[in-house]
Amino acid sequence: MEYIHQSLGEDNKITTISGYYTVDDEKLIKYQGKDILCVIGLGIIDSSCCGVGGCRYAMVPGYVRHWKKKTIKGQYVSEVDPVIDEKSKIAIKKILMEEEVVTQINFW
């Protein structure tokens, strides 16, 4: 699968119907001798009819096959293999919870 790297930080927020989210950091974590791409960001709900809120999140596209292999419209693209093994997902979540302040971790 291809992951298109997004610009980082508040200045590059992505607007949604009820708020916005930002990608604040991309990091590679080692797991079983492989690099796993983790994207850390902030989701804000500030224009919803149901109230306001937010959360820090981590998204895990997967194991890096090729790092920033090419560009599309000026943005880097990496090839990743999704994490499908449940035991690996649990272990990766544990690593992220110890290293980052996140309330939500999602895998592709």
Q: What average pLDDT values come out for the chain (108 residues) when binned by 10 residues? A: 89 88 95 97 89 93 97 95 97 96 95
What local confidence, expressed as pLDDT, does residue 11 receive?
Answer: 77
pLDDT tens digits, one per residue of 37-68: 999 999 999 988 888 899 999 999 999 999 99
Judge whether 106 and 58 are in contact, CB under 8 Å: yes
What local confidence, expressed as pLDDT, does residue 100 receive?
Answer: 94
Judge whether 26 and 8 are in contact, CB under 8 Å: yes
d(CA 25, CA 92): 17
What local confidence, expressed as pLDDT, does residue 7 receive?
Answer: 85
Give, in order, the Cα–Cα distances in Å from 57 to each of 26, 41, 49, 96. Answer: 12, 5, 22, 10
Give, in order, the Cα–Cα distances in Å from 61 to each of 27, 53, 91. Answer: 11, 25, 15
